[in-house]
Amino acid sequence: MSSTAARAADQGTGEGRERHRVWSVAEHLDDILGHIHPLDPIELQLLDALGCVLVEDVTVPAALPPFDNSAMDGYAVRTADVGAATGEHPAVLTVVGDIAAGSGELPAVGPGEAARIMTGAPLPPGGQAVVPVEWTDGGLDNGPVSGMPARSSDPHGGSGLVRVFRPVRDGQHVRTRGSDAGAGELALSAGTVLGAAQIGLLAAVGRSTVRVRPRPRVVVLSTGSELVQPGEETGPGRIYDSNSYQLTAAAQEAGAIAYRVGSVADDAETLRATVEDQLSRADIVVTSGGVSVGAYDVVKEAMHEVEFRTVGMQPGKPQGFGRVGSDRTPLLALPGNPVSSYVSFELFVRPVIRTMLGAGLVHRTTVRAFCPDGIASSPEGRRQFLRGWYEPSVAGEPGTVAPVGGAGSHLIKALARANALIVIPEDVAEVAPGAEVDVVLLA
Ligand SMILES: Nc1nc2c(c(=O)[nH]1)N[C@H]1C(S)=C(S)[C@@H](COP(=O)(O)OP(=O)(O)OC[C@H]3O[C@@H](n4cnc5c(N)ncnc54)[C@H](O)[C@@H]3O)O[C@H]1N2
Ligand code: MOO
């Protein structure tokens, strides 16, 4: 029996009835997430770990900073030598050398002496504080200077005499060893999401690699013989493939490594071969289009392992989920209408990506908001996700939300102007002006 005939025959069986029941959003999501686990940890180079969840506690191996160093470009001095320094009666000190950042050889600073020192350079023996260069004559035997001449134009700046016009306290303008973190202290704990600052800290403690859960690899492919790639010529009845771009970008935003395959024509053999070909680099496969009840619904025709369902939501009614190939890779088949595919991604694919990442927060934030204009109608029995613009309130009260565009699942421009989804429950047919609604924040 052909698969089409088998499907037709199923209509009358128990299995057929199960397949044609309407799934709630929560049931479909729970079923999907029931098959998803965090990916096994791996050791990654620091920059490859950006956005990943740490699976080890990282301790500081050696004190940060590793040595006492100057916080200013200036002169390392003994505080007693400059205790009485004023503009009128400067302390005059002998400059015993120049200390650049990275310098290993440090001149000792004795009584009546100073060492010229740069920001980040180690404090020399005898140095108790740093006088910023602006509080001195910079060795020019004149009033206060605004900085030091470049070494190339003044190779002997680290010698001669310097006049100091203000006193300094012991330790002033010195960053002491371990003042940031002591050796053995916890730098980052397991479960931390690595952002730029955390990657910076790992580098600062000398780590070149780190153990994290990797980003899931998401292969995105769209289906439809009408699709043309942006930049190419369209023709009669043809449109640009926006879904593969939208979904690839969304997967990246959610923390995945996303591969955009582009569009596959409505041909079951080609689609199947393409999916099989892509499985070697996929932790998740996402398709768009070809899942409703038309004669050219190619995903439905090609992917026998995928269960196609009606979910009680708008947009996003037809959905498919299954696991394909020898690794049983999850495949989420999303509807082709651009807003439907986007909303479906938000509700079903994003949580899969976030679960695989091991992220603590799998779902978008939902808040309550007033809807001043109300919503005239919402389909009964389907949870509606209208695109909206959410404004938070200043006074701790719920914010407000207004629909952007209508309910049509082809309204891409309105979607691009929305920052939220307004959720209208299955049993609500209209929202009175000023009533409160749930709002999913999209950022
Ligand atoms: N008789 C019925 N027809 C439809 C039903 C139904 O229940 N009975 N459901 C409708 C709903 S709801 C949706 S959603 C769509 C889903 O259809 P498919 O997933 O099969 O998607 P396609 O038919 O391939 O495309 C739908 C629509 O979206 C455009 N599209 C598709 N892919 C892209 C893309 N990559 N970039 C931009 N636009 C895309 C496509 O051209 C169509 O206009 O079915 C309804 N029909
Ligand atoms: O469910 Mo469709 O996604 O309404 O347009």
Residue with tokens 């202290």: 185
H or E element at residue 413: helix 412-416
Q: Check residue 396 and give left, alpha or beta (phi > 0: left; psi -120 to 50: alpha).
A: left
Residue 263 pLDDT exceeds 90: yes
State the pLDDT at residue 15: 46
Task: Give the alpha-carbon dihedral of 274, 280, 283, 284, to 10 degrees.
Answer: 0
Determine the distance from the C-alpha atom of residue 156 to the mean position of all C-alpha atoms in its chain, rounded to a whole number: 49
The answer, as to whether pTM is greater than 0.80, is yes
Report the separation in Å between the CA atom of 310 and the middle of ligand 1, taken as the mean of its atom positions. 14
- Classify residue 348 as exposed, middle or buried by CB count within 10 Å of its CB (0-12, 13-18, 19+): buried
For the domain spanning 67-176, the CATH number is 2.170.190.11
Confidence of residue 19 (pLDDT cuts 50, 70, 90): low
More confident residue, 155 or 178: 178
CATH of domain 366-441: 2.40.340.10
Whether the pLDDT of residue 180 is over 80: the answer is yes
Closest Cα to residue 278, out of 216, 238, 208, 218?
Answer: 218
Express each pLDDT in 218-241 by its tens digit: 999 999 999 999 999 999 999 999
Structure tokens at 419: 């920052």
Q: How far is the CA of 312 from the centre of ligand 1 (A)?
A: 16
Give the dihedral sign, CA 225/227/231/235. positive
122: Cβ contacts below 8 Å, ≥ 6 apart = 67, 68, 69, 99, 103, 106
Cα 229 to Cα 406: distance, rounded to the nearest angstrom: 27
Residues 396-420 have pLDDT tens digits of 889 999 999 999 999 999 999 999 9
Helix (H, G, I), strand (E, B) or coil at 306: strand
Q: Which atom of ligand 1 is nearest to the CA of 340?
A: 14
CATH architecture of the domain with residue range 42-57+184-213: Alpha-Beta Complex (3.90)
Q: Report pLDDT for 86.
A: 98
* Phi, psi torsion values for 203, nearest 5 degrees: -65, -40
Lowest-confidence region among 36-45, 97-106, 209-218: 97-106
Between strands 174-175 and 69-70, the pairing is antiparallel
- Could you give the CA distance from residue 140 to residue 425 in angstroms, rounded to a whole number? 78
Q: In angstroms, rounded to a whole number, what is the distance separating the alpha carbons of residues 403 and 216?
A: 33
Would you tell me how many other CB atoms lie within 10 Å of the CB of residue 66? 13
CATH of span 3-39+215-357: 3.40.980.10
- CB of residue 336 inside a 6 A radius of ligand 2: no
Nearest ligand to the CA of 245 is 1
Q: Does the N-terminal peptide bond of residue 372 adopt cis geometry, omega within 30 degrees of 0?
A: no
Nearest atom in ligand 1 to the alpha carbon of residue 334 is 19
- Band of pLDDT at residue 156, cut at 50, 70 and 90: confident
pLDDT value of position 18: 53
Would you say residue 11 has pLDDT above 70? no
Q: What is the DSSP string of 48-73?
A: GGTTPEE-S-EE-SS-BSSS-EESSS
pLDDT at 20: 76
Residues with beta carbon inside 6 Å of ligand 1?
222, 224, 226-227, 239, 241-244, 263, 288-294, 297, 315, 317-318, 335-338, 340, 409
Tokens of 381: 């029995």
End-to-end CA distance of the chain: 48
Domain residue limits, the chain: 3-39+215-357, 42-57+184-213, 67-176, 366-441
The SS3 assignment for 391 reads: strand
384 lines ligand 2 (CB under 6 A): no
Q: In whole angstroms, give the CA distance from residue 164 to residue 303.
A: 81
Q: Which of 198-202, 331-335, 357-361 has the lowest mean pLDDT?
A: 357-361
DSSP string, 182-241: -TT-EEE-TT-B--HHHHHHHHHTT-SEEEEEPPPEEEEEEE-TTEE-TTS---TT-EE-
Give residue 314 CA to ligand 2 midpoint distance, Å. 5
pLDDT at residue 7 tops 80: no
Q: How many other CB atoms sit within 10 Å of the CB of residue 426?
A: 18
350-357 vs 25-33: helix crossing angle, rounded to 10 = 30
CA 428 to ligand 2 centroid distance, Å: 18
How far is ligand 1, taken at its centre, from the CA of residue 369, in Å? Answer: 31
Q: How far apart are CA 94 and CA 112, in angstroms?
A: 6
Looking at residue 46, its pLDDT comes to 98
- Does the beta carbon of 337 lie inside 6 Å of ligand 2? yes
Instruction: Check whether 326 has a pLDDT greater than 50.
Output: yes
User: How far apart, in whole angstroms, are the C-alpha atoms of residue 283 and residue 325?
Assistant: 11
**What number does the ligand 2 atom closest to the CA of 335 have?**
3
Nearest alpha carbon to residue 287 among 304, 305, 300: 300
